[in-house]
Protein backbone atom coordinates (compact mmCIF):
# COMPACT_ATOMS: atom_id res chain seq x y z
CA UNK A 1 0.00 0.00 0.00
CA UNK A 2 2.72 2.49 0.96
CA UNK A 3 4.72 1.60 -2.13
CA UNK A 4 1.74 2.16 -4.40
CA UNK A 5 0.84 5.46 -2.75
CA UNK A 6 4.38 6.78 -3.01
CA UNK A 7 5.09 5.47 -6.51
CA UNK A 8 8.14 3.65 -5.15
CA UNK A 9 8.96 0.01 -4.95
CA UNK A 10 8.76 -1.88 -1.69
CA UNK A 11 12.53 -2.42 -1.92
CA UNK A 12 13.11 1.34 -2.12
CA UNK A 13 10.92 1.96 0.91
CA UNK A 14 12.61 -0.77 2.92
CA UNK A 15 16.07 0.49 1.93
CA UNK A 16 15.21 4.03 2.98
CA UNK A 17 13.72 2.84 6.28
CA UNK A 18 16.82 0.79 7.06
CA UNK A 19 19.16 3.63 6.09
CA UNK A 20 17.24 6.12 8.22
CA UNK A 21 17.11 3.71 11.15
CA UNK A 22 20.83 3.00 10.95
CA UNK A 23 21.65 6.72 10.72
CA UNK A 24 19.56 7.38 13.82
CA UNK A 25 21.20 4.48 15.66
CA UNK A 26 24.69 5.69 14.76
CA UNK A 27 23.88 9.26 15.82
CA UNK A 28 22.56 8.02 19.17
CA UNK A 29 25.66 5.86 19.71
CA UNK A 30 27.96 8.83 19.00
CA UNK A 31 26.00 10.96 21.46
CA UNK A 32 26.15 8.28 24.13
CA UNK A 33 29.88 7.80 23.57
CA UNK A 34 30.47 11.54 23.98
CA UNK A 35 28.64 11.37 27.30
CA UNK A 36 30.66 8.37 28.45
CA UNK A 37 33.90 10.09 27.43
CA UNK A 38 32.92 13.27 29.27
CA UNK A 39 32.03 11.31 32.40
CA UNK A 40 35.34 9.45 32.21
CA UNK A 41 37.09 12.84 32.25
CA UNK A 42 35.03 14.05 35.21
CA UNK A 43 32.91 16.40 33.11
CA UNK A 44 29.40 16.48 34.53
CA UNK A 45 26.54 18.95 34.18
CA UNK A 46 26.20 21.50 36.97
CA UNK A 47 23.36 21.18 39.47
CA UNK A 48 22.00 24.49 38.19
CA UNK A 49 21.78 23.27 34.58
CA UNK A 50 20.34 19.93 35.67
CA UNK A 51 17.63 21.61 37.73
CA UNK A 52 16.81 23.97 34.85
CA UNK A 53 16.38 20.98 32.54
CA UNK A 54 14.23 19.15 35.08
CA UNK A 55 12.03 22.21 35.55
CA UNK A 56 11.66 22.65 31.80
CA UNK A 57 9.91 19.29 31.46
CA UNK A 58 8.30 18.96 34.87
CA UNK A 59 4.60 19.80 34.98
CA UNK A 60 3.75 22.90 36.95
CA UNK A 61 3.49 21.97 40.58
CA UNK A 62 1.12 23.98 42.74
Instruction: Give residue 18's pLDDT.
Output: 97
Using the 8-state DSSP alphabet, how is residue 58 labeled?
A: S
User: For residue range 1-58, what is the model confidence (pLDDT) as tens digits?
Assistant: 777 788 889 899 999 999 999 999 999 999 999 999 999 999 999 999 999 988 998 8
Number of domains in the chain: 1
pLDDT value at 61 more than 80 = no
Position 62 in a domain: no
Position 39 in a domain: yes
Full-model pTM: 0.61
How would DSSP label each residue in 29-48?
A: HHHHHHHHHHHHTT----HH
Strand, coil or helix: 1: coil
Domain that residue 13 falls in: 2-57
Amino acid sequence: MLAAESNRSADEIIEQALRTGLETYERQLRSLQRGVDQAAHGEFVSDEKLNALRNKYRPNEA
